[in-house]
Amino acid sequence: MKKLTLILFACLCSLQTLSAQDITRDQRMQWWREARFGMFIHWGVYAQLAGVYDGHEINKAGEWIMNRGKIPVAAYQQVAKQFNPVKYNADEWVRMAKDAGMKYIVITAKHHDGFALFNTKASKWNVVNATPYGKDLLQPLVAACKKYNMKLGFYYSQAQDWNNPGGAVNRKVTSEGWLNPDSAKIDAYTKDHDGHWDPAQETATFAQYIDRVAVPQVKELLSNYGDVAVLWWDTPTNMTDDAAQKLNALLKLQPNIITNDRLKRPNFPGDTKTPEQKIPKAGELDGSDWETCMTMNGTWGFKSWDDKWKSNETLIRNLIDIASKGGNYLLNIGPKADGTFPEQSINSLKTIGSWMKVNGEAIYATHATTLPQPAWGRTTQKGDFLYLFVFNWPQDGKLVIPEMKQSIVSAQLLAGGSKLKTEGSTIQLPAKAPDAIASVVKVQIKR
């Protein structure tokens, strides 16, 4: 009996090992392809400065304030001593993402300033050791994502790191002259020091930074936070194939993980392409998995004075346009230093959520159609159903599907469900559009 039990146990183990290794790429990607919509979160010490340093408004993205302002390492690390997000409520964050119709969250575990939002042994420059808050910020998010069945991924700046010695610095960036009276001297220094502006950044080599910080931290992220759905690499500045290989090897800790194309090009393509702040043309990225990441306003990290908020129409139509081309939309939130989302972000998430409650089936698990992009809006498809997103409601009520080859079995409005008359590839619409931003017609076709 004992021998039989042992044999059965051995078979079970080999099956499990086999299944973990045998997950196909399509199986790994399935949830991601069906999700279509996720939340990006850029959060860190930079939120404390909120786009202002030493009384000066710093231009461009808020999370780049240390580099743009050429803030000395010691001064920037002093800012962390004020970072105390007492209003942080991960449950609220994930609830808002879920109610908006988002299916996954990707948060900056460590951005270019090197500040780790998690309890890392690889560097004291982290939320536990360097701030009055003193607690890991990722663990509560892991718990809340589990509670709400939300996939969680980590953004990790694997090369740029402006605080941990040896980290790379994007060399194209010069200081905002008006902040540093001697910015000419600083810019000259950066030119001779591979972009670094503070000698404290240069007390180790890049290779040592990779071995001492990046590799151990990615290992911590992939070992200590349960199932990690996505590893979102960013800016492979100075990356070498050797360094990339060391980091890529860690992914075996999470057999189902999805990664992007930003570890190091071209030898590490990852699973997804990442057009940023732009939506590819129809067909441009056909055949690949791609995700457009975008801000809601003019910055990824919070800035108190950025008011370039995009309209809800733009945000919802971006989602539709991206889904109609077969891509995912990773829409960013830049939380404030106290741990709350900006009011405008909360309001937009609510509006998007209301629209998704009625029309989400036209986004989730759909793919691009073979139809040409209609003048009145966009289309998606899921099995025997076409979804027509009408931006411009026809005055005469006649919605013509261009170059429609299949015959229409039935048509209905998603909002309210009322059946619509059809004649050939023309659908008779009611006088008034149910939704000013985008009304959806669900069409059953005979394939």
Determine the Cα–Cα distance for residues 217 and 215; give it in Å rounded to an integer: 6
Determine the Cα–Cα distance for residues 245 and 240; give it in Å rounded to an integer: 8
CB of 37 to ligand FHN, least distance (A): 16
The distance from CA 212 to its chain's CA centroid, rounded to whole angstroms, is 26
Helix, strand or coil, per DSSP, at residue 4: helix
Which of 58, 63, 209, 268 contacts ligand FHN by CB under 6 A?
A: 63
Verify binding: residue 306, ligand FHN, rule CB under 6 A.
no
Closer residue to ligand FHN in complex, CB, 236/374: 236
Question: Would you say 401 and 388 are in contact if contact means Cβ atoms under 8 Å apart?
Answer: yes
- Matching residue, tokens 């732009």: 278
Closer residue to ligand FHN in complex, CB, 156/206: 156
Rama region for 335: left / alpha / beta (φ>0; ψ in -120 to 50; rest): beta
The interface region with ligand FHN, picked from 56-64, 93-101, 191-199, 366-374 by CB under 6 A, is 56-64
H helix runs in 150-294, sequence order: 183-192, 206-209, 215-223, 241-249
- Matching residue, tokens 């075996």: 252
Do you find a cis peptide bond into 266, omega within 30 degrees of 0?
yes
Q: Which of residues 83-102 bind ligand FHN (CB under 6 A)?
A: none
Closer residue to ligand FHN in complex, CB, 51/374: 51
Question: Would you say 162 and 71 are in contact if contact means Cβ atoms under 8 Å apart?
Answer: no
Verify binding: residue 276, ligand FHN, rule CB under 6 A.
yes
Which of 61, 97, 230, 438 contacts ligand FHN by CB under 6 A?
A: 61
Q: Which two tokens stand for residue 306?
A: 């950025």
The interface region with ligand FHN, picked from 2-10, 61-69, 117-125, 415-423 by CB under 6 A, is 61-69
Instruction: Give the residue from 435, 279, 291, 412 showing the smallest Cα distance to 351.
Output: 435
Instruction: Give the residue from 142, 38, 48 showing the smallest Cα distance to 90.
Output: 142
Closer residue to ligand FHN in complex, CB, 64/389: 64
Closer residue to ligand FHN in complex, CB, 38/434: 38
DSSP 428: E
- The pattern of x and - marking residues 235 through 274 that bind ligand FHN according to CB under 6 A reads x---------------------------------------
Determine the Cα–Cα distance for residues 206 and 443; give it in Å rounded to an integer: 56
Which of 234, 271, 289, 321 contacts ligand FHN by CB under 6 A?
A: 234
Closer residue to ligand FHN in complex, CB, 129/274: 274
CB of 155 to ligand FHN, least distance (A): 7
CB of 447 to ligand FHN, least distance (A): 38
The interface region with ligand FHN, picked from 12-20, 60-68, 96-104, 345-353 by CB under 6 A, is 60-68
Q: How many residues bind ligand FHN (CB under 6 A)?
A: 8
Closer residue to ligand FHN in complex, CB, 186/293: 293
- Matching residue, tokens 């790994």: 28
CB of 234 to ligand FHN, least distance (A): 5
Instruction: Give the residue from 316, 296, 297, 315 showing the smallest Cα distance to 306.
Output: 297
Q: Buried b vs exposed e over 226-237: b needs ≥16 C-beta within 10 Å? A: eebbbbbbbebb
CB of 52 to ligand FHN, least distance (A): 18
CB of 299 to ligand FHN, least distance (A): 9
Residues that bind ligand FHN (CB under 6 A): 61, 63-64, 234-235, 276, 293, 300
